[in-house]
Chain A
Amino acid sequence: MKKRSKIRRELPIYLMALPGVIYLIINNYMPLPGLVLAFKQYSAKRGIWGSAWAGLDNFKYLFATQDAWVITRNTVLYNAVFILLNTALGITYAILLSSMKAKKAGNFYRGVMLLPYMISSVILSYLVYAFLGVESGLINKMIIEPLGGEAISWYAEQKYWPFILVIVNCWKSVGYQMVIYYSSITGIDDSYYEAAIVDGATSWQQITKITLPLLKPTITMLVLLSVGRIFNSDFGLFYQVPMNSGALFPVTNTIDTYVYRGLIELGTITKSAAAGFFQSLVGFVLILSANSLVRRFDRENALF
């Protein structure tokens, strides 16, 4: 009784939260029951709830095809490479830029490096196309043809794409990682370095003996959190940059692009629903595990 009257007294303040709560219900909670679509034989006429149950058939179909393996492999492997490279390059650049004596130049470099993070993946695909277009692309026109080679039709050749996607992802994301590590480095107490210099430590020793050990908590946390999201791919990167080219699907199809194509382009909704359900569930387990690992290293930085 007492609790209820307290809530009633607090009513005006809850009123302020109401629009946000309604929005969360509409955008995030109302779709959740729709996950049962993964277990239904969908018929547009009958709607989700009227459609007959399919048990685990949708998952059986999904995993019976090569698709399930390909999209899972692509999603996880690309993300693993991205995490590795972005972390390594992000830290390298953070250390280099923070050791730079010319502060103005350092600021300029940092600003430029973060710029790609703000460019939409549609425009990113235009930029890549300027390099890889078959007839007028920069690489064919300026490098391969003058050397007497034959123009490569980049958007039809699978073998190049693992590299292209990794390079484009680095272009887009290294600056973002660098910014996080940079701010972590500037948070390190100067007296550590002053003491090291007095003891005659070289720059290299300062990096390996002071900076890197002190960055370790940030690195552990960021890597674990990205591992927790390893089942989610950057839809824009995998859909836009290869221009949705069918010839490239074996090396560019990820869970997100597969779900999208099934839903919008192919009309295989239940297969998409099954793949999406698989992604949500594994993603949930991964993020919980990642978080419990972060908690073990560093309680402060755990999500919960």
Chain B
Amino acid sequence: MERDKKLQVLAHGMALIFTVCVLLPLLILISSSFTDDKVLLREGYNIFPRAFSLDAYTYLFDAGSSILRSYGISILLMVLGTTISLLITTPLAYVISRPRLTLRGPLTFMVFFTMLFHGGLVPTYVNYVNVFHLKNTFWALLIPNLLMPAIYVLLMKNYFQASVPNELLEAASIDGAGEFRCFLSVAVPLAKPIIATVALFVGMGYWNDWQNGYIYLSKRTDLYSIQTLLNAMMRNIQFLSENQMDMSSSAQAISEIPSTSVRMAIAFLGILPILVIYPLVQKNIVKGITLGAVKG
């Protein structure tokens, strides 16, 4: 019993250390967004705001039309991306879950092979830019992420196989339901949990994506999502610190960089939806991770 107590103490101690390590940076981020910018510059970041101020937020909502627009683009992108992604992923997964289908093997392989071999950035970029002319369009943010990674298709396929009995589909078919009807009114309702889980991961992927904006939007800064905007600001700071001598070009860059507290406020707004939604959907996320890891 004595040993067991030690284990409990150890467990709580180690878990607390990690918890502090996770929460501390987030706390600093939030507190600095509520700190007066001059104090922030003079005294540095801190865990609690030394001089409480809402300036960063009033600035954002007053003058920050580009920031609000970025927020809007992030939301639009997430909603549209998740919807379209589910609309193409779910039926594909359903089809390759059906037994006795002649082309089932080739179709499954087509999905599966993408997990083994990937062309990489260069061919993908050339394809989207030269063939489909996605550069500097909204589609460049949406399209490259629709069905990736293929593991979600396979997870859904496994779920359909395990929880939609074939007899049920055959019975519906005998009752005169067409293939599409079977899918929509028999299979989809039974697969709701996995659809929700995949939706969550795809939605999170869209919300957090900054790479597509960075790679494909070289001119259209008006299409920046919140993550791409944050990325661009960080790049400007880096540019400044590496080219301090070159005052003429840095003067312009300075004017484009919002103050530290404003940047922190934008970053906070960037994780806010995740912080709000996460506690509600933690179970689904854990389920998605375990399913995905064990089969992929």
Contact = CB atoms under 8 A, between A and B. Distances in A.
B103 interface: yes
A280 B119 contact: yes
A273 interface: yes
Contact of B121 (A24, A136, A263): A263
Contact of B114 (A24, A33, A134, A221): A24
A34 B126 contact: yes
B18 A174 contact: yes
Contacts of A106: 15
Contacts, number: 288
28 contacts: A10-B102, A14-B95, A16-B92, A16-B183, A20-B111, A27-B124, A27-B143, A31-B127, A33-B123, A34-B126, A99-B7, A100-B8, A105-B15, A111-B279, A112-B22, A122-B231, A122-B234, A129-B234, A130-B45, A133-B44, A141-B43, A175-B18, A176-B289, A221-B294, A243-B234, A243-B238, A303-B112, A303-B295
A276 B22 contact: no
A26 interface: yes
A277 interface: yes
Nearest to B110: A24
Interface of A: 3, 6-7, 10, 12-14, 16-17, 19-21, 23-24, 26-28, 30-35, 37, 47-48, 92-93, 96-97, 99-102, 105-106, 108-116, 118-123, 125-131, 133-138, 140-142, 155, 171, 174-176, 179-180, 183, 202-204, 218, 221-222, 225, 235-236, 240, 243-246, 256, 259-260, 263-264, 269, 272-273, 276-277, 279-280, 283-284, 287-288, 301, 303-304
Contacts of A105: 12, 15
B5 to A, nearest CB: 10
Interface in B221-269: 227, 230-231, 234-235, 237-238, 241-242, 260, 263-264, 267
A26 B132 contact: yes
B148 A27 contact: yes
Counting chain B residues whose Cβ lies within 8 A of the other chain, the interface size class is: 35 or more
Contacts of B45: 130-131, 133, 136-138, 141
A14 B227 contact: no
A263 B135 CA distance: 14
B179 A301 contact: no
Interface in B1-22: 3-4, 7-8, 10-12, 14-16, 18-19, 21-22
Contact of A287 (B15, B116, B289): B116
B278 A115 contact: yes
Interface of B: 3-4, 7-8, 10-12, 14-16, 18-19, 21-23, 25-26, 28-29, 32, 40-41, 43-46, 87-89, 91-92, 94-96, 98, 101-103, 107, 110-112, 114-127, 130-132, 143-144, 146-148, 150, 153, 178-180, 183, 204, 207-211, 215, 227, 230-231, 234-235, 237-238, 241-242, 260, 263-264, 267, 270-271, 274, 278-279, 282, 285-286, 289-290, 293-296
A150 to B, nearest CB: 15
Contacts of B238: 155, 243-245
A24 B244 CA distance: 46
Majority secondary structure of chain A interface residues (helix, strand, loop or mixed): helix
B113 to A, nearest CB: 8
A23 B102 contact: no
B44 A123 contact: no
A218 B290 CA distance: 11
Contacts of B95: 13-14, 16-17
A206 B165 CA distance: 40
A280 B107 contact: no
A106 to B, nearest CB: 8
A171 B123 CA distance: 33
Contact of A136 (B41, B96, B123, B278): B41
Contacts of A6: 102
Contacts of A246: 242
A96 B10 contact: yes
Contacts of A23: 88, 146-147
Contact of A37 (B15, B114, B122, B242): B122
